Amino acid sequence: MAASSSAGCPTPAGANNDIPTYEYVDINTRPFHVGAFERLWKETLKPTYYSFRDAPQETEDEEFAQEMGVSAETIDELKVICSPDTLRCYPENEPPDKNVVPMDPGLRTLRLRKRQQDYKETLLRDFTCRQHLYATELESLAMGKRPADPEDLVPEGEFILSINVVYPVIFERFKHVRPHQTLQVLGSQKLTDLRDAICCVSDLQVSGEFSRSPDMAPEFISKDHYKSATFYLEGTFYNDMRFPECRDLSQTIMEWAKSHDFPTFQTAKMEETTFRDLKIKIGYPYLYCHQGDCEHVVIITDIRMAHRDDCLDHKLFPLLTYKHRVMTRKCAVCHLYISRWITTNDSLAPMDPCMFCELCFRMLHYDAQGNKLGDFLAFPFVDAGAFN
Ligand SMILES: [Zn+2]
Ligand SMILES: [Zn+2]
């Protein structure tokens, strides 16, 4: 990392280090302090610019006319021409049927919709795919959402950071899929808030063989036993030390670095650090590590002020705005439900290893009293697609 400061774009002389500039054009910025950057914006902008209150229509029109250099009459004329009323396909007194596209639509968007509708009619089987229906909805679902309790309103001028979390490198299957999740966090939130919002199957794995006591499996979820995690950002390891059993995951790396003449790293507590306290580069790959070796690349892709059309309910942050969806592995018996168990050396299974859903697994391997039938080893399985 020390070498990177000598490469890339040269720093302009006298530049303010708290204003992000590119280190590598279109790739990542130089490091800057989030809190200082936020202060600079607030000093520069008028509070009305980032206020969540709607400005009165007349003032807005006046300002717009002034900015565009046109008269008030032109604005009025434009309002009539661009009014949504001109898009009407039906007489005003007739309620429109939203599912029927008029025979000869003039609008391009309607023409596309009509084409899709006509195509769907030619299909023999019509799949209603949950994934397709909601694939693009996550982000828009929370748009403009205001909290029921005014106490939970995001403060005006709050910063929102967009963060991409990539699949862990240990998953061969998702090597070319990225990102895994995109989340929005507030500048005032702690790193632990992000850590708790990252949903990774490694946290839910259950290690061990449970053929004799399948009911015990939920008590051995990794997340409850191995609580340590760390973020690595700009030379500092931020360790999650909220629980007494947490271990400093960075310790081994620090010791290794010391014995190999690397520059020393800093450590800090994840639960005591907010995003506002951080020094970061936008677009730069950082690390999130949990469960010992489940390592995710984390990239902060954007930083901006909250707008009145954003989700403004503090409680909904970190806000999930994108999630990659994966094919699920189905049970070998019913081919319907997602697999929950893997068995090996199983005299009752058609293959080795074999996957079962909860229901089929119990019906095939245990009698009514819950006694194990036949010889087999059973391991709990968590499908990455279980969170789709
Ligand atoms: Zn993970
Ligand atoms: Zn099944």
Element (H, E) at 322: strand 319-323
Ligand showing the shortest atom-to-Cα distance for residue 360: 2
CATH of the domain at 307: 3.10.290
Q: Do the domain assignments include residue 158?
A: yes
Average pLDDT, integer, range 359-384: 91
Ligand showing the shortest atom-to-Cα distance for residue 169: 1
Tell me: do 243 and 365 sit in the same domain: no
**Number of structural domains the chain divides into:** 4
CA of 208 to the centre of ligand 2 (A): 22
Tell me: do 66 and 152 sit in the same domain: no
Average pLDDT, integer, range 69-97: 83
CA of 385 to the centre of ligand 2 (A): 16
Ligand showing the shortest atom-to-Cα distance for residue 330: 2
Ligand showing the shortest atom-to-Cα distance for residue 297: 1
Residue 304's identity, in one-letter code, is R
Tell me 51's DSSP state.
Answer: -
Per-residue pLDDT band for 249 (boundaries 50, 70, 90) equals confident
Residue 282: name the closest of 6, 10, 18 by CA.
18
CA of 199 to the centre of ligand 1 (A): 8
Ligand showing the shortest atom-to-Cα distance for residue 296: 1
Mean residue pLDDT across the chain: 86
Confidence check: pLDDT of 5 > 60: no
Average pLDDT, integer, range 357-361: 94
Q: Do the domain assignments include residue 333?
A: no
CA of 373 to the centre of ligand 1 (A): 35
Tell me: do 174 and 311 sit in the same domain: yes
Residues 6+ apart with CB under 8 A from 384: 171, 173, 174, 201, 326
Tell me 276's DSSP state.
Answer: G
Tell me: do 83 and 155 sit in the same domain: no
Q: Do the domain assignments include residue 107?
A: yes
Confidence check: pLDDT of 92 > 80: no
Look up residue 225 and give its two tokens: 């036993």
Q: Could you list which residues have their CB under 5 Å from ion ligand 1?
A: 168, 200, 202, 294
Per-residue pLDDT band for 317 (boundaries 50, 70, 90) equals very high
Q: Which residues pair with 354 in a beta bridge?
A: 343
Tell me: do 352 and 279 sit in the same domain: no
325-353 confidence digits (pLDDT tens): 788 889 999 999 999 999 999 988 989 99
Tell me: do 189 and 239 sit in the same domain: yes
Q: Which of 86, 111, 128 finishes a domain? A: 128
Tell me: do 77 and 199 sit in the same domain: no
Q: Do the domain assignments include residue 329?
A: no
Q: Do the domain assignments include residue 336?
A: no
Q: Do the domain assignments include residue 328?
A: no
45-54 confidence digits (pLDDT tens): 988 888 888 7
Average pLDDT, integer, range 147-156: 92
CA 73 to the chain's CA centroid: 46
178-208 confidence digits (pLDDT tens): 678 899 999 999 999 999 999 888 888 888 8
CA of 180 to the centre of ligand 2 (A): 27
Tell me: do 124 and 161 sit in the same domain: no
Report percent pLDDT > 90 for the chain: 44
Instruction: Look up the domain containing 15 and give its range.
Output: 3-48
Q: Which of 153-162, 169-178, 300-309 has the lowest mean pLDDT?
A: 169-178
Rounded to the nearest 10 degrees, how much is the dihedral formed by the CA atoms of 354, 360, 365, 370?
140
pLDDT, position 8? 65
Cβ atoms of 295 and 302 within 8 Å: the answer is no
Tell me: do 308 and 363 sit in the same domain: no
Instruction: For residues 39 and 30, give the distance between their C-alpha atoms in angstroms, rounded to a whole number.
Output: 18
